[in-house]
Structure 1
């Protein structure tokens, strides 16, 4: 049975990404472009979202992988993953990302010509940040593809042996209120012993903290969906307790950040609270979404298909708008609002009129080819002939 709450969460989390990337334009953190006025306090809601937004996305991706494998042969699954992840990544690096690098180079005066003097002659020289070739926000795609290929044999085993001992252990843990909080332990270990030595780069090579942390969450998503209703029953029943845990976890994190000086002991404490906080919000979100979002409507049907192209397109639009707004004497509200609505609106126009309706462009943005009416009619006739022959 398809879970519509997972579709809703996928749409919501990727929508939050647009707000987040617009916010990066205004906060002190490193980003491709910066507004002429920085607003440090805007980072607090972004810090809250940062605790779980990418983590839950990899968990949801692991759950989606379970559904994909349940309907396909192993070989077809691998071919589809490569087709739907690598091809959009390639198109993104050739067409979508270069304008972002171009505007960044203009803003720092590293380049002064028009776009077609930059692309393609200079757009692919060297690796970013020293060079210009990059996948920028599309880093999620190669990571997801790598995780799918690495874990594929294990996923196939779990799919074909649903009564194995490992899944039975996870099912027993999921049957109790706090049983799944044992999964906090590996997240704590990664934060404590990998994060300090391997800062996040999203460059794949050498990005060991992100690689190990996110592949674990991806795997967790697969095993949680494998135990079926046991997981959903628990998160629905105890969602309010998990919400209190999340509020407590983030409150303690704020106290650590604001009141304590960095020391080894404080760092390990922060790592433990961070892992607890992340997992609490993931369980909370799954619990409340299972109650209130597990239903389908026309908006979800449209958005669920649009979300992948939106993800590919959005930062190009955000950076372009940001470049022309960054030095204007406007306030935070005006710029933020224009960038958010502009990113959603322009991405929607590009998707609706430049991608969705074109059968041969859809696969370039990770969508299945849309069958034309004649294709459907031919298929119906073929099926009809087969049924007559059978009779």
Structure 2
């Protein structure tokens, strides 16, 4: 049975991604283009979101893999993953990402000329950041493709042995509210022992910490779906307990990084608080979403399909819009609201009129080739029997 709460969570988290990338324009962290004034206070809400935003996406993706294998053989699943992940990645690298690199080169004074003097003659020369070829924010797609194919034999084996000793043990620990914190062990070992030696690059090759960390979360998502009835009962029943854990974890984590200089003791403590915090928030989100969001609607149907193209398109729209205001003296709020509105509106226009209605374009952005109705037809029609 379809979990509508997972669909809502997916839409919600990808919506936060747009807000997060808009925030990157203002925060004093490195990004492709920056506002003429940076605001240090933005680090705190962004740090809060950043702890669990990507981890829960990989968990949800692992859960989606469980459902995808319900309807496909391993071979069909592999071909479907390549079609829905690799093809949009190639299209994105050819058409969607180059405008971002072009704007960055213009803003940094590294290129002078029109876009069509840059693309395609300069757009694919060398690998970013020294060169111009990049997948930028689309890095999520090759990682997800790698995990899907590499872990497929494990997933098939788990599905063939639903009553095996390992899954019986998983079901037993998941049934207890504190049992879900056993999942912290591999996350903590990776965070404390691997992360110090491998900076996250999103380049795939040599990005060992990201590969290890995100693949574990992806595997967790699939694993939790093998005992899903027990898991959903545990997180809904104990959602308030997990909320207290999450608030405590983030408070202690923030206090630690603000109060102490780095040392071996601080590192291992910080690693534990970090994974405890992110896993607690993931359990909170699953618990409350399962309680209040597990219901269908026509708005959800539209948004659930739109979220993938929005993810592909949004950062290009944000960077182009940001380029035109980066040196204006508007203040934070006007610029922030302008970028939010422009990003959502621009992405929606490109999706609704440039992608969704065209059967031959839809697969290029990871959508099925079915005939699409308009937005108003989708969310405004009345279901039969109502």
> For the superposition of Structure 1 and Structure 2, which TM-score range results when normalised by the shorter chain?
over 0.9
Aligned to 1:71: 71
Q: 1:185 offset after TM fit, Å? A: 1.2
Per-residue displacement from partner, 1:65-93 (whole Å, max 9, x unpaired)?
Answer: 00000111111111000000000000000
Is the counterpart of residue 137 in structure 1 residue 128 in structure 2?
Answer: no
| Distance in 1 between residues matched to 2:198 and 2:333, nearest whole Å | 36
Question: Could you say what secondary structure the match of 1:166 adopts?
Answer: helix
Q: 1:49 offset after TM fit, Å? A: 0.4
Aligned to 1:273: 273
Aligned to 1:303: 303
Question: Could you say what secondary structure the match of 2:196 adopts?
Answer: coil
Aligned to 2:318: 318
Question: Could you say what secondary structure the match of 2:124 adopts?
Answer: coil
Contact 1:89 1:135 (8 Å CA) reproduced: yes
TM-score w.r.t. the length of structure 1 is 0.94
Bigger radius of gyration among the two? 1
Aligned to 1:226: 226
Is the counterpart of residue 101 in structure 1 residue 113 in structure 2?
Answer: no
TM-score w.r.t. the length of structure 2 is 0.96
Q: 1:265 offset after TM fit, Å? A: 0.3
| Distance in 1 between residues matched to 2:3 and 2:189, nearest whole Å | 32
Contact 2:357 2:371 (8 Å CA) reproduced: no
Aligned to 1:353: 353
Q: 1:177 offset after TM fit, Å? A: 1.0
| Distance in 2 between residues matched to 1:69 and 1:83, nearest whole Å | 15
Aligned pairs, number: 373
Contact 1:102 1:115 (8 Å CA) reproduced: yes
Aligned to 1:386: none
Q: 1:371 offset after TM fit, Å? A: 4.2
Aligned to 2:294: 294
Is the counterpart of residue 6 in structure 1 residue 6 in structure 2?
Answer: yes
Aligned to 1:25: 25
Q: Which moved more, 1:181-190 or 1:120-129?
A: 181-190
User: 5 Å matches for 1:165-314?
Assistant: 165-314=165-314
Contact 1:309 1:351 (8 Å CA) reproduced: yes
Contact 1:70 1:159 (8 Å CA) reproduced: no
| Distance in 2 between residues matched to 1:315 and 1:361, nearest whole Å | 20
Question: Could you say what secondary structure the match of 1:2 adopts?
Answer: coil
| Distance in 1 between residues matched to 2:316 and 2:151, nearest whole Å | 32
Question: Could you say what secondary structure the match of 1:295 adopts?
Answer: coil
Per-residue displacement from partner, 1:244-263 (whole Å, max 9, x unpaired)?
Answer: 00000000011101211211
| Distance in 1 between residues matched to 2:172 and 2:188, nearest whole Å | 22
Q: 1:372 offset after TM fit, Å? A: 8.3
Per-residue displacement from partner, 1:155-197 (whole Å, max 9, x unpaired)?
Answer: 1111122111111111001010100101111111111111111
Contact 2:356 2:372 (8 Å CA) reproduced: no
| Distance in 2 between residues matched to 1:343 and 1:337, nearest whole Å | 10
Question: Could you say what secondary structure the match of 1:327 adopts?
Answer: coil
Aligned to 2:380: none
Q: 1:209 offset after TM fit, Å? A: 0.4
Question: Could you say what secondary structure the match of 1:196 adopts?
Answer: helix
| Distance in 1 between residues matched to 2:252 and 2:29, nearest whole Å | 22
Aligned to 2:334: 334
Q: 1:349 offset after TM fit, Å? A: 0.6
Q: Which moved more, 1:184-193 or 1:200-209?
A: 184-193
